[in-house]
């Protein structure tokens, strides 16, 4: 079983749609949680950290459920520029473990 699992997609949605990504992790000792965005042939960029209390940044909302070892990302009012691969990332100690990513394609 992979340490971090994501639905690879792709998710093809129209502009303005709301889309949700899910992620599960296997290491209960994980301490930190993130969503990164990776554009084609580019490096990953931090989108947001994820907290148990949930956090929101504009159109993006992230949630963590430690009991279920589950992380989610909700994107509202999708834009064409949101098209990318979204990486679920889990940290413990000084290491980050990456999910394989979920591809999002927003179309006009």
Partner 1 sequence: GAVVSQHPSWVICKSGTSVKIECRSLDFQATTMFWYRQFPKQSLMLMATSNEGSKATYEQGVEKDKFLINHASLTLSTLTVTSAHPEDSSFYICSASPGQGRSGYGYTFGSGTRLTVV
Q: Find the binding residues for partner 1 in span 19-38 (CB under 8 A).
A: 31-32, 34
Cα–Cα dist 96/56, whole Å:
22
End-to-end CA distance of the chain: 37
Residues 45-74 as x/- pattern, contact with partner 1 by CB under 8 A: xx--x-------------------------
In the complex with partner 1, the residue whose CB is nearer, 22 or 91, is 91
Distance, in Å, from the CA atom of 30 to the CA atom of 17, rounded to the nearest integer, reads 32
Q: How many CB atoms lie within 10 A of CB 98?
A: 16
Question: What is the smallest separation between the CB atom of 65 and partner 1, expressed in angstroms?
Answer: 18
> Could you list the residues that contact partner 1 (CB under 8 A)?
31-32, 34, 41-46, 49, 87, 91-101
């Amino acid at each position: 079983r992979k340490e971090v699992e994501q639905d690879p997609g792709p998710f093809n949605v129209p502009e303005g749609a709301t889309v949700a990504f899910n992620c599960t992790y296997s290491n209960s000792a994980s301490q930190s949680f993130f969503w990164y965005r990776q554009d084609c042939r580019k490096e990953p960029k931090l989108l947001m950290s994820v907290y148990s209390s949930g956090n929101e940044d504009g159109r993006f909302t992230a949630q963590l459920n430690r009991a279920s070892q589950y992380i989610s990302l909700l994107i509202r009012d999708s834009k064409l520029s949101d098209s990318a691969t979204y990486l679920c990332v889990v940290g413990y100690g000084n290491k980050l473990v990456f999910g394989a990513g979920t591809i999002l394609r927003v179309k006009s």
